[in-house]
Homo-oligomer: A and B are copies of this chain.
């Protein structure tokens, strides 16, 4: 057993305990009620970085939640890996659907994780994943085996749009100077089929509000004569996708790349069992844009989902109200070349045009992010391949993932760095859902892989740059 693997095995319980302490802090960035907790999580991360061997760690204030920055510079001439992660988490509601409280982590065995998984909000997204990097650093510094410089940038607003990170990166280009960005905030196919994400979708997220009459009305007295904003909103939303599930917003597909069949064939070679997928979700059939496979639908095609809808009486029993207002949160996943701000504009223009004059419509953009594609011929990618091969005994499969990490394109544009998206989660981890969890084995193998990446990167970088 290598010294790295040995060190991780010897410290396994403590590595898990520390992560569970972090998971106990309900750092929900979307809800102001958790403000103190979000700050507490930042302090905890800083203090854990300090204990793990960095030269310095600091809390960088922003107009929102702080960014935790830390660095370990072993040699000015050695290549530098910049780690990105986020210590904030998604809201945990609906709480009643959790089998154990979301902020009281417990380890339970499951079919997919016979060696246990940590159940808690943020366990996979992203606390359990970025914390691996801190433990990988500790492992290498303890063993005196670190061969590259490492910088950490862990933010607290990823789940709400990373607006202040954007400003921070633009203002601190020197401080963040590095040769690669390494991010673990994605999933792999499985422990048997390790993969590296090489494409991510972008995101445009908006809220819409439809107003009918100026007050709630009695649906008996007014029903049939006054536009009901819920009925109208449903009609408007329904018309956003046609019978083939193509999005009807004019111009929406203008920049979407039509991949040739050989590329699509390659993509569809990734191990994927559709009947197992359906079974796990308890659905009779998948659903999406006509003419594409499930892998293509989440990988190379844009989408439109209503993430929330509300209006009228939603309590127990019956209330015969014709409400004044109806609301929806709508997001679109974007593919390379689609510009999230342009799509927001196209959406707004089209959505407003759908409304009959009997109602008023307001569209409020929430946040967005650009899609990303990662080249597979960089020193960083080679390092990831080599590290995965060594730990998993198998070649990494390059995959395109449906989710978005909006800041990846920020790194490309502002720092001129291609991010390496080496995540260790699984699609079944239930991120953003009740009972989120993260495999113990994924956590430990992740730490090992990241430690090996640090050293592999030095080699690959030197090879490429002579």
A contacts, CB < 8 Å to B: 29-32, 90-91, 93-94, 97, 159-161, 187, 201, 203, 205, 212-228, 230-231, 233-235, 237-239, 241, 281-289, 294, 297-298, 301-323, 326-329, 331, 333, 356-359, 366-367, 401-404, 427, 430-435
Contacts and interface: CB of A to CB of B under 8 A. Distances in A.
A311 B311 contact: no
A309 B401 contact: no
A254 B217 CA distance: 28
- Give this chain's copy count: 2
Contact of A32 (B233, B316, B404, B433): B316
A220 B187 CA distance: 12
B321 A286 contact: no
Given A218-B432, A219-B331, A317 B30 contact: yes
Contacts of A288: 224-226
Given A225-B294, A309-B312, 8 more contacts: A97-B216, A215-B433, A221-B427, A223-B333, A225-B402, A230-B307, A235-B241, A307-B313
A373 to B, nearest CB: 16
A320 B309 contact: no
Contacts of A234: 233-235, 237-238, 306, 309
Given A231-B241, A234-B234, A320 B212 contact: no
B315 A282 contact: no
Contacts of A32: 316
The 7 closest A-B pairs by CB, nearest first: A220-B403, A224-B303, A30-B317, A238-B238, A227-B287, A308-B312, A214-B282
A226 to B, nearest CB: 6
A231 B358 contact: no
Contacts of A326: 309
A29 B329 CA distance: 32
B218 A431 contact: yes
28 contacts: A30-B317, A32-B316, A91-B315, A93-B313, A97-B216, A159-B319, A213-B281, A215-B434, A216-B433, A220-B333, A221-B402, A224-B288, A224-B303, A227-B283, A230-B306, A230-B328, A231-B306, A234-B238, A237-B238, A284-B358, A286-B358, A305-B322, A306-B311, A308-B319, A309-B312, A312-B329, A313-B329, A320-B404
